[in-house]
Amino acid sequence: MDIKKVFKQIFKILEWIIFLTLIFILFLVASPLLPTKTYISTHVVSTGSMEPEIMTGSVVFSTLKNEEVNKGDIVVFKSPDNQEITVIHRVKDINGDQYTTKGDNNENEDSWTLFKSNILGTVIFTIPYLGYVIDFMKTPLGFGLVLGIPALILIISFIKRIKDGINEEVEKRTEEEVFKHRINTPPILPLILLISTFLFLGKPPSTYALFSARVSITGMTISTGEIEERMGEVIINEVMWSGTSLSIDDQYIELRNTTDNDINIGKWKIYYLRDLNKPPIMIPANRVIPKNGYFLISNYSNESNNSLLNIESDMSNASMNLLPTDNGNLILKDSEGNVIDTVLGEIDWPDGLQSPSYRSMQRTVDGIDGSDPSSWYTCNNALCNSSDYWKSDFLLNYGSPNDINITD
């Protein structure tokens, strides 16, 4: 047996395995943009809102070919409150062409009514944890390990084949070997270039499933600026736990960058200390707070009829659920799990008011320690109920979302 020929055959099989794997990865990344999205499309889920049916980090495959949606189906759809948000929930009830939905891991059904025109597909199957691989590929290290090393191996193989052809025969033989290589070897280099384009230059939508399976759609953006993650210099600056005169769920949390540098807060999380079983609020990847700027997380989009916000939030999370009592504890952690800031009340929120008017609690200028109740005050200034912040009924609502805190 010719050992050299055996190794050549093994290597050729390996080349095809790498090629087919990269084709599959390319499909996962680009499926929302391909014409085949009618038949099958993919979504990456980043938290456990649909657990145990859909685990954190899973890749969900959905299809539009299932014309009939039945009770109990898991569907992917555009949020009726905000068309830029994608949701993955289970159909709980059907009334004509109207659907009631709910996340398996949520306590309550969704507040909206879903119509068939909003549905992007029915979930057909999932692959657990594969989403972590896709997220890893978006990093320089992941791109190098998953694509760079296999590409280097195949390039070296290509060069070696040419060299062997030159050593074996004359130029004619070399040309024949090159032609044979083109037939027997998968077109790996163009494929790598295509995947690189999707990952680093293109903007195929990426799905970040927040709790309640609410998903913020953001582009796969790799920032080219010098963005530095500075631990401890982002604070929880304002909390509208009271809701508004329209809805007690019309809540928001405002983060503030206290530095003169842009800070990447992608994949940072806000935990509820008094309910460790409740999934945290996770900020999508590659989100940035500009220097001395703000980042507003609202329960509803300002475009929703359930919100009085007159300004656009940076992200919305439909399960904020900042309870008025026995819930005054929040912890902000970075992507590595380091504690960045806290809001700690002995029993309830340190400040703020829910009745007869609705008032946020705001951080004092020198409030370095968020666990100290003296670092907070209730927003009572008349400027807090300005129409700059609220759509209507603003005389009953006090706060300064995405803006400087207003003291008495």
Residues 161 and 240 in one domain: no
Are 215 and 128 in a shared domain? Answer: yes
Boundary of a domain, candidates 205, 222, 239: 222
| Backbone φ and ψ of 136, nearest 5° | -65, -35
Query: To the nearest 10°, the Cα dihedral for 188, 192, 194, 195?
Result: 130
Question: Do 38 and 137 share a structural domain?
Answer: yes
Which pLDDT score, from 0 to 100, does residue 267 have? Answer: 87
Number of domains making up the chain: 2
Q: Which of 222, 245, 273 is the last residue of a domain?
A: 222
* DSSP summary character for residue 53: T
Q: Are strands 358-359 and 397-398 parallel, antiparallel or unpaired?
A: parallel
Q: Is residue 407 in a domain?
A: no
Classify residue 403: in a domain, yes or no: no
Q: What percent of the chain clears pLDDT 70, i.e. is strictly above it?
A: 65
Per-residue confidence (pLDDT) for residue 109, from 0 to 100: 81
Instruction: Tell me the torsion sign for CA atoms 121, 99, 312, 371.
Output: negative
Answer whether residue 162 is part of any domain: yes
Check: CB of residue 208 under 8 Å from CB of residue 283. no
Residue 21 sits in the same domain as residue 160:
yes
pLDDT of residue 202: 47
Q: Could you say which of 167, 191, 222 is where a domain stops?
A: 222
- Do both 207 and 257 map to the same domain? no
190 shares its domain with 201: yes
The parts of the chain modelled with pLDDT lower than 50 are 183, 201-231
Residues 218 and 229 both lie in one domain:
no
Does residue 108 lie in a domain region?
yes
Q: What is the CATH number of the domain that holds 123?
A: 2.10.109.10
Question: pLDDT value at position 240?
Answer: 94
For residue 250, what is the domain's CATH number?
2.60.40.1260
Burial class (CB in 10 A: 0-12, 13-18, 19+), 125: exposed
Using left for φ > 0, alpha for ψ between -120 and 50, and beta otherwise, residue 96 falls in left
pTM over 0.85: no
Does residue 274 share a domain with residue 216? no
Please report whether residue 404 resides in a domain: no
Other CB atoms closer than 10 Å to residue 183's CB: what's the count? 6
User: DSSP E strands: which ranges in 180-282?
Assistant: 205-209, 214-219, 234-240, 252-257, 263-264, 269-272, 281-282
Q: What is the pLDDT of residues 358-379, one digit of tens each?
A: 999 999 988 888 888 889 999 9
Tell whether 232 and 213 lie within a shared domain. no
Same domain, 237 and 213: no
Q: Give yes or no: residues 181 and 248 share one domain.
A: no
Q: What pLDDT, on the 0 to 100 scale, is given for residue 258?
A: 92
Q: What is the pLDDT of residue 145?
A: 72
Is there a domain that residue 406 lies in? Answer: no
Instruction: Retrieve residue 220's tokens.
Output: 């796969």
| Residue 227 to residue 222: CA distance in whole angstroms | 11
Residues of the domain holding 317: 224-398
In a domain, 408, yes or no: no
Same domain, 74 and 160: yes
CA-wise closest residue to 311 among 403, 219, 241? 403
